[in-house]
């Protein structure tokens, strides 16, 4: 089974490794007996699904969630069931991958034209003249 990330990028579920650990928080009597928190491990450094650009950006975005070996570890413990926590971990990884695949728009630095600068200065002069006209002048 594959997980769709973005157009042209799919992640094979065989690349994901899950383990379950005890979770803190709500769960009643089961909280100390049942391992409901899901821990997802994704080896981004050796994933055949990712391009080099996406891989580099993903590891950069992952921050402390990435190990030195390039494995991303996501721990999901928001929900009371293993299945919901597993789905939450997969969705969080997919969101991280979507953000990594997004290419930032290249900004071209522009400058205002000479006419635009002149219009700005003319407007400032006009406004200053209006304000000067408001002040009361006392002739002695």
Q: Mapped to the 3 state alphabet, what secondary structure does 69-101 carry?
A: CCEEEEEECCCCCHHHHHHHHHHHHHHHHHHHH
Collapse the DSSP code of 22 into the 3-class scheme (helix H, G, I; strand E, B; otherwise coil) and give the result.
coil
Q: Answer yes or no: are the C-beta atoms of 39 and 75 closer than 8 Å.
A: yes
* Residue ranges for the chain with pLDDT beneath 70: 25-31, 137-140
Partnered with residue 9 across adjacent β-strands are: 6
Encoded tokens for 71: 């494995």
Q: Domains plus CATH for the chain?
A: 2-101 (3.30.160.20)
- pLDDT, position 140: 59
- pLDDT, position 110: 93
> For 78-95, how does the pLDDT look when each residue is reduced to its tens digit (9 = 90+)?
888 888 988 899 899 888
Q: Answer yes or no: are the C-beta atoms of 38 and 20 closer than 8 Å.
A: yes
> For 7-27, how does the pLDDT look when each residue is reduced to its tens digit (9 = 90+)?
777 777 788 888 888 877 666
Q: Answer yes or no: are the C-beta atoms of 129 and 43 closer than 8 Å.
A: no
- pLDDT, position 6: 75
């Amino acid at each position: 089974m594959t997980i769709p990330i973005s157009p042209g990028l799919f992640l094979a579920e065989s690349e994901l490794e899950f383990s379950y650990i005890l979770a803190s928080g709500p769960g009643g009597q089961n909280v100390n007996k049942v391992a409901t928190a899901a821990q997802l491990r994704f080896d981004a450094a050796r994933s055949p699904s990712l391009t080099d650009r996406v891989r580099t950006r993903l590891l950069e975005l992952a921050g402390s969630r990435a190990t030195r070996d390039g494995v991303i570890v996501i721990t999901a413990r928001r929900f009371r069931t293993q299945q919901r926590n597993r789905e939450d971990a997969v969705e969080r990884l997919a969101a991280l991958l979507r953000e990594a695949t997004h290419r930032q728009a290249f900004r071209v630095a522009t400058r205002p034209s000479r006419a635009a600068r002149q219009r700005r200065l003319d407007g400032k002069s006009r406004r200053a003249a209006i304000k000067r006209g408001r002040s009361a002048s006392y002739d002695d």
